[in-house]
Amino acid sequence: MQAAIVPFITVNGIYPDLLIIFLVYLSLRKGQVFGTVSGFVIGFFFDIFTGGMLGAAMFSKTLAGFTAGYFFNENKVQYNLNSYLFVLIVLFCGALDSMFYQILISKNIEINFPVLFFKQSILPAAYTSIISLIWIIFKPKREAHA
């Protein structure tokens, strides 16, 4: 889905990462270890199915899953998943994931950090968090309070 649908909602080369939303959701629901392993598995399949550099998404998504797992709280699972905190966690983890991913796939030794940080990390992460915000707002009420 990430590889097939996302190209059509790309704006100026900036695309949302739907997998990060799913990964943050898993981490907040099941915990840090589960999130870390899920990140690794999701990253592996992402690398395989996009024909890119194998290992890059595995690394960045493992890290993102681990980071999202920090916000896991057994007593606040529903709150974390249904509040705007979820959007903020997606933003943070998305930026982290994009930044490490870009560093790993970049073949250019001279990395321009402002470009890397802003255009390739913050902007895609912001776009991803907007998508997650839409999900939070329009989520069916019954599911939201389950």
Distance of CA 139 to the CA centre of its chain: 19
- With binding defined as CB under 8 A, does residue 119 bind another protein? yes
Q: How far is the CB of 84 from another protein (least distance, A)?
A: 26
Sorted by sequence, the CB contacts under 8 Å of residue 81 that are 6+ apart come out as 25, 28, 29
Beta bridge partners of 14: 11
At residue 49, φ and ψ (nearest 5 deg) are -85, -10
- With binding defined as CB under 8 A, does residue 25 bind another protein? no
Q: Which of 51, 141, 145, 146 binds another protein (CB under 8 A)?
A: 51
- With binding defined as CB under 8 A, does residue 33 bind another protein? yes
Q: Which amino acid is at 13?
A: G
- With binding defined as CB under 8 A, does residue 121 bind another protein? no
- With binding defined as CB under 8 A, does residue 78 bind another protein? no
- In the region spanning residues 89 to 118, those forming contacts with another protein, defined by CB under 8 A, are 101, 104-108, 110, 112, 115
C-alpha pair distances (Å), 101 with each of 15, 78, 79, 80, 121: 14, 30, 30, 26, 9
| Interface positions with another protein (CB under 8 A) | 2-8, 10, 12-13, 15, 17, 32-33, 36-37, 39-40, 43, 46-59, 62-63, 66, 69, 101, 104-108, 110, 112, 115, 119
